[in-house]
Amino acid sequence: MAEEGWYSDPYRVHDQRWFSDGTPTILVRDRGTTSKDPPPDGPYLEQPRLIESAPDHLLRHDGDASVDPVDAAWTYFTLSSGF
């Protein structure tokens, strides 16, 4: 299975970097604060180490926050029914 969750930043720029389907994303964490920073061009400086695996209810990261399926269903219901 490909990496999915928070891993040590293999570029050594930040404390942690979010991986989705084995690919480093723009989401980073430093001292518990989450922000965005695109991965640098070039090879890893170290192998990423798992810090916190992704919860089962999260969808793959695409640059924005993940979607909770219950919230998504409720949004679909309210938009499609005119509420």
- Is residue 68 scored above 70 in pLDDT? no
Backbone angles phi, psi at 74, to 5 degrees: -65, -40
How would residue 2 be classed by pLDDT, with cut points 50, 70 and 90?
confident
Kindly report the pTM of this predicted structure: 0.67
* Chain centroid to CA 77: 26
The tens digit of pLDDT for each residue in 12-64 reads: 999 999 999 999 999 999 999 999 999 999 999 999 999 998 886 664 555 55
Tell me how far apart the alpha carbons of residues 32 and 29 are, in angstroms, rounded to a whole number. 6
Residue 6 neighbours by CB under 8 Å, 6+ apart: 16, 17, 18, 19, 29, 50, 51, 52
Terminal Cα-to-Cα distance of the chain (whole angstroms): 41
